[in-house]
A and B are shown apart, each in its own frame.
Chain A
């Protein structure tokens, strides 16, 4: 019986945590919508969008998907490949800047 109670405590969490995360997700979504509403431009816009995005993603993964309480090996096996692919996306975005530069240089200016 004692064993059972202990096991249940390991998998269930207080209602308050979920309500807090839920509320935070609403607030963060509202903020990211406000970024568009207030027509922020340039670096400020991208920084704000990315900040709210990663905060939301982190909250969902850590608490809704229970990664915060998960075995550390599993957390690492999941997060490192994701970090690698995020880096890959970043590299290719930089590459696209070069592509558009060559297109303008050779096809638009040259023609």
Chain B
């Protein structure tokens, strides 16, 4: 849809009935891939919300004391236990990678192939660092502290199952994101979005809007971490 026709459509609240009652496209002027990614992310939000809901209900209804996160996730730094040190670093790494992703999207739209690719690569490396630190955190809890999905040395036994389920599901999302970030870094550096080279899976031409769609997914992973950080580690 071109800009001129888009400008004639109703805006604000009036755009909702007119968009949803129209034929062909509900979201006027929105790239279909972007709209579909948003719909997927909405469904993913539902899954994560179900985890959050069961975690909050489980934690709220147990008669045993809940393990204190700032002690469980403390890390010794020069002999002093610092609460949530690793989690704080992980949070900053993920936010940094979200920022570099936003840069990649911006430079992608400006058709700046090299900067776009560089920032994508930085984002992927940030994600990889995050997954690495999460693997370290998991192995520390499993092998040194003896946390299991059914028991742990700190308190309520449900702690382990919620922890592994929620952070594991988030970590899986990060890992999948990292794989796609590397694939798209290669595609950008090869110039796929300038030359109109067809995609391996889709057999279709693509352009830099693909970077924004990938960016939506990556920012969503960061968004979920914001909620996990608040409800699981700080609460």
Contacts and interface: CB of A to CB of B under 8 A. Distances in A.
A38 B26 CA distance: 48
A66 B212 contact: yes
Contact of B60 (A8, A10, A100): A100
A99 B12 contact: no
Interface residues of B, number: 60
B57 A7 contact: no
A62 to B, nearest CB: 11
Interface size, A (range): 35 or more
Given A73-B16, A73-B26, A18 B219 contact: no
Contacts of A11: 109, 209, 212
B109 A71 contact: no
A21 B106 CA distance: 14
Contacts of A57: 223, 226-227
B95 interface: yes
A15 B88 CA distance: 26
Contact of A81 (B12, B42, B56, B230): B42
Contact of A10 (B3, B57, B63, B219): B3
A97 B38 contact: no
A105 to B, nearest CB: 11
Nearest to A88: B53
A27 to B, nearest CB: 11
A65 B220 contact: yes
B152 interface: no
Interface in A36-61: 36-37, 45-46, 49-50, 52-53, 56-57, 60-61
B122 interface: no
Interface string B104-129: 00100110000000000000000000
Contact of B53 (A56, A74, A89): A89
**6 A-B pairs with least C-beta separation:** A96-B60, A99-B61, A53-B230, A73-B19, A22-B99, A12-B109
